[in-house]
Structure 1
Amino acid sequence: MKTCISCGMPLREKKDYPLEDESKDYCVHCANADGTLQTYDERLDGMTSFIIKTQGLDHEVAQSVAKDMMSKLPAWKDVH
């Protein structure tokens, strides 16, 4: 099973891929409407919001956690 290079989500079903294109190596949540990968800053905002929503952390802490997580993922390992 593939995992999203941008957020680490398991890619289990066709609907998990942008535009259901299983040749992509990132998930639907990390893609723009046209199927392209979002920028680092767009993903950082999205992951920060997700962490706040699911873990109840304040923005600064959630953003720090998101940056740490993203630094370990293939899409972002050389960014920031």
Structure 2
Amino acid sequence: MKTCIACGMPMKNIEDFADRDEKKDYCKYCSRPDGTMQSYDEKLDSLTNFIIKTQGLNPDVANEAAKAMMHKLPAWEKL
């Protein structure tokens, strides 16, 4: 089982992969409509909004939490 390099989601089924392509290292939630991986800023915005929605944190706290999570992932650890 692969884990998304951009968000950490486990990718168990072909439907979990970007463009249903098991060769890609990122999931469907981290890809753009054309199948390329989202940029750091795009993913940060998406993850921040997800944290706000699911955990009810204020935007500034959610943004800091998203940054902390992302910097532990292979796609973003060198940024």
Unaligned runs of 5+ in 2: none
Unaligned runs of 5+ in 1: none
Map of 1:46 onto structure 2 = 46
| Residue correspondences, number | 79
TM-score w.r.t. length of structure 2: 0.98
Q: Structure 1 length normalisation: TM-score?
A: 0.97
Secondary structure of 2:49 counterpart? helix
AA paired with 1:3?
T
Paired residue secondary structure (1:68): helix
CA distance in 2, matches of 1:9, 1:51: 14
| Distance apart, 1:18 and its partner CA | 1.0
Q: Runs of at least 4 residues of structure 1 off by over 3 A?
A: none
The percent identity for this pair of structures is 58
Task: Give the alignment's Cα RMSD to 1 decimal.
Answer: 0.4
